[in-house]
Amino acid sequence: MVHSTSLQRRRLITACACGVPLAWLGISTRASAQECGQILGVGSRSVFTNAVSADQVEAAAAQQYLQLKQEAGSKRALAPNDHPQLARLRAIGERIVPIAMECNPRARQWKWEFNLIGSNQINAFCMPGGKIAFYTGILENLRLNDDEVAMVMGHEIAHALQEHAREQMGKSMATRGVLEIGAALLGLGNGARMLGDLGAQLLSLKFGRDDETQADRIGLVLGARAGYAPKAGITLWEKMSAANKGAPPQFLSTHPSSPNRIQDIRTALAKVEPLYERAPKPARRFEPAQPRASKQG
């Protein structure tokens, strides 16, 4: 998840149902999955991913997402459909989602949804099943342009394609004992309680450095193929670094430090830029969000 560690450490992360399809990562569409996996150093999923079913994770996410929308609506913080920044998010998403669906067959069945929540948090997330939300804080405080928004969105969706949240939830369930896992997978436990537990985990999961690096790299590809400049990944993290002054050094954090993150993106650009050069570009560009005098959250 892309977020400001100085403002918000809570995790609203993604998960998906199947393995890591990598054929779309290569410079040539004829490249094998193994070759493509080597291009950006994307690894395979963990055995812990299978400890919880994708259906359960997606159902819990849908429930949690609905609750978040209802809470935001009650505070008049849920942007209406005619909000210009929500229109912007949906326009960018319409270009990225078809590419995501190419790499994950299950994603073709997701009911993708985009919402904008009024809050000063520098944060964005994509829940399992394609439930995406941005906070106004990340758009306004960082003055993100369309390319940078696409990098954030690609990063969040990439977590889903890599099943990072499902893996972390599987590890968490494993610590609760084999018998409880077996009962949950066989549907012998309390279904409502199970969904509630999974939904609560979605609010607190944290990813490791490798997960964040993979999401950065795949996010570059998603954005580039959608026609957004991957070099925006550099300016995005420069802005994030400025917003995160006082954050702990890399060895004290599960996340790559901004300088290391930026360097990794610079290294990947040579492999991703050709995808951007060949991609059709968006016909419309949107203006960055303007900071407001007062914000919620």
- Write out pLDDT tens, residues 29-88: 332 334 334 444 445 556 666 667 788 888 888 899 999 999 999 999 999 999 999 999
Active-site residue 113, yes or no?
no
Domain count, the chain: 1
Give domain status of residue 145, yes or no.
yes
Q: Exposure of 12 by Cβ count < 10 A (0-12 exposed, 13-18 middle, 19+ buried)? A: buried
Where are any strands of DSSP class E within 148-294?
Answer: none
Q: Do the domain assignments include residue 71?
A: yes
User: β-pairing, 131-135 with 113-117?
Assistant: parallel
Residues 98-101: contacts with CB under 8 Å, at least 24 apart? 99/24, 99/222, 99/225, 99/226, 100/157, 100/160, 100/161, 100/222
- Residue 158's contacts (CB-CB under 8 Å, 6 or more residues apart) are 214, 215, 216, 217, 218, 219, 222
State which residues form the domain around 136. 45-206
Within a domain: 67:
yes
Q: Is residue 252 part of a domain?
A: no
Confidence at residue 115, expressed as pLDDT on a 0 to 100 scale: 97
Catalytic residue among 140, 156, 167, 212: 156
Q: Does residue 250 fall inside a structural domain?
A: no
Residue 27 lies in a domain: no
> What pLDDT was estimated at residue 253?
55
Is 277 among the domain residues? no
In a domain, 94, yes or no: yes
Full pLDDT tens readout for the chain, 297 residues: 665 443 333 232 222 222 223 333 333 333 233 433 444 444 555 666 666 778 888 888 889 999 999 999 999 999 999 999 999 999 999 999 998 887 777 888 899 999 999 999 999 998 888 999 999 999 999 999 999 999 999 999 988 877 777 777 776 666 655 445 555 555 545 545 555 555 555 655 666 777 788 888 889 999 999 999 999 999 999 998 888 776 655 555 555 677 888 999 999 999 899 999 999 999 999 999 988 754 444
Which token pair is 276? 């951007």
- Which tokens is 29 given? 């569409």
Q: Secondary structure of 180-221 in the HEC alphabet?
A: HHHHHHCCCCCHHHHHHHHHHHHCCCCCCHHHHHHHHHHHHH
Q: For residue 26, what pLDDT is reported?
A: 35
User: Rounded to an integer, what distance in angstroms lies between the CA atom of residue 214 and that of residue 41?
Assistant: 8
